[in-house]
A and B are shown apart, each in its own frame.
Chain A
């Protein structure tokens, strides 16, 4: 009796889970399908593109400098990842390695900055970037975002659990402090840092509000911003809009399918902002 009851609840559970998974991925499927439909099929609700065509992609590439914007996004996300990793590594190292005067205060200052939303600081930062003449540039997007509180807080945890004995023995050998960081700590935290790097890259790729304020010309903008103006342009070109959307998602999806286990693990370790 108990066995039977259990199996019914198991079936129910799986049904619910399958339903929810379908809801989770169906929009993605619909995006790809719509991008492949031809002009006649785009407005019917068939879930298979019987007359699949790439014409939407051709049109999307004609309408927008997609390659240029993808390159912008790639450079932006890579620079963001690099800067955020460097600043968080140096900070975590300093906090763990030395008994810094006022370290509690510094840590508090860093954690509290997590609570400052972009919407609160966007106007002064926008004015400053303009004064520096960095508007319409990728550097103008990247520099203000080059410290990630999230990255510091997560790396600090990993640095704290790093075995002290290894650092001490390096110290006794008379190694320089920077050498200890680069040759002793970093190689051992390689996978941790790689995981964090992947998350930061995804975050950077998806960055939206700040790049939208800094870049207005398509040529200078990351793909998300181009996509936004395409959506808002009110042309009824949904096939090619979905083609452009698919292209914009492609790098993230490729990274996800190659490194799925790694990404989920790193997410589990850090959460996401």
Chain B
């Protein structure tokens, strides 16, 4: 690529020099790329990088977001308050719970679905894949509303069926129950995200040559051996990618369902770190606390991303 680019600049130099001086032309050639880059870079700076830095500064200040008031510096006070608060502890444990709990839905089940549908001929393959895909494109709010109705404490379908089959004696208020609430948020987010891995793994599988499978089955490998010795290594770059996205984004994926189904309750048992940041900032108007949590987690997620990136480079198997 860089080779080509130096070429193109040579070609530019060959162009006949017009009225403008050589220096002006060179200046234009130097600045032109930045004119094209400017919109993105300026917007990224204003709406992504600058606010990130502001948040880091706010982490050491106290502010109630009241117009006309200014943030006051408080040193490490926000971090002390944060780390000694019980809610924050719960939210970290839950963040881990959701992050690990989502892995079967983002990797294990999608691997099965992708491999199972891969070898099918004709229409059924696409019908299956199309159905797994539907939850993924629906809006989190809509999905949340539907599940809230399905698990409604008095009139929901799930309670109705459980009662009819005699599995429970009285209705369960699922989203007001500390254990059910957490698990349901995990299951609903998982249900939503199954299509994500499935489609990406299916795509990666399509790229694997059929010859490999013929060769390995000639050697007498059964289906499981084929999967273990051929499919899995060849899919490894994609598996690492999905793993990284799942670890980094799972807290954002669960956010909407926490907000719509439980608002973090009952008693903060289903909240996660991002939802706490939102609550600190926009319910408690405690900007410093929210910013401190953001800074802390930004560092943690940054480390995770860095480590995973290096592991991927080391262990993923690339078929060239």
Contact = CB atoms under 8 A, between A and B. Distances in A.
A binds B: yes
Given A123-B287, A168-B8, A249 B255 contact: no
A125 B47 contact: yes
Given A97-B33, A123-B291, A228-B260, A43 B155 contact: yes
A249 to B, nearest CB: 5
A268 B146 contact: no
Interface in A7-49: 9, 13, 16-17, 20-21, 23-25, 27-28, 30-31, 34, 42-45
Contact of B32 (A98, A106, A128, A241): A98
B36 A93 contact: yes
Contacts of B200: 268, 271
A31 B146 contact: yes
B239 to A, nearest CB: 13
B48 interface: yes
Given A121-B48, A147-B44, A248-B141, A21 B132 contact: yes
Contacts of A24: 131-132, 134-135, 191, 194-195
A124 B50 contact: yes
Interface in B204-241: 206, 223
Nearest to B140: A208
B73 interface: no
A227 interface: yes
Interface in B285-302: 287, 290-291, 294, 297-298, 301-302
Q: Is the interface of B mostly helix, strand, loop or mixed?
A: helix
Interface string A230-268: 111000101001100100110010001000110110011
Contacts, number: 253
B249 to A, nearest CB: 8
Given A120-B55, A177-B32, A208-B256, A113 B48 contact: yes
Contact of B137 (A99, A160, A230, A256): A256
Contacts of B143: 27
A76 B127 CA distance: 31
A213 interface: yes
Contact of A272 (B37, B43, B196, B202): B196
A82 B258 CA distance: 31
Nearest to B223: A9
A210 to B, nearest CB: 10
A119 B274 contact: yes
Contacts of B252: 117-119
B65 A127 contact: yes
Given A17-B113, A206-B139, A164 B4 contact: yes
A14 B235 CA distance: 23
A21 B260 contact: no
Interface string B92-128: 0000000000000000010011001100000000111
* Chain A, interface residues (CB within 8 Å), range: 35 or more
* Chain B, interface residues (CB within 8 Å), range: 35 or more
Interface string A163-185: 01001100110100100000000
Contacts of A115: 248, 301-302, 305
Nearest to A73: B139
Nearest to A205: B139
A21 B259 CA distance: 27
B40 A87 contact: yes
Query: What 3 pairs across the A-B complex have the smallest Cβ distances?
Result: A94-B36, A124-B51, A268-B203
26 contacts: A16-B112, A28-B134, A87-B43, A94-B33, A94-B36, A98-B9, A118-B252, A123-B287, A124-B51, A124-B54, A124-B55, A145-B47, A147-B47, A168-B7, A171-B8, A205-B139, A209-B255, A209-B256, A209-B278, A230-B145, A231-B144, A231-B260, A248-B142, A249-B138, A256-B137, A271-B200
Given A86-B39, A248-B139, 13 more contacts: A21-B128, A30-B146, A87-B39, A91-B37, A94-B37, A98-B33, A113-B48, A122-B281, A128-B46, A147-B39, A228-B260, A238-B152, A238-B155
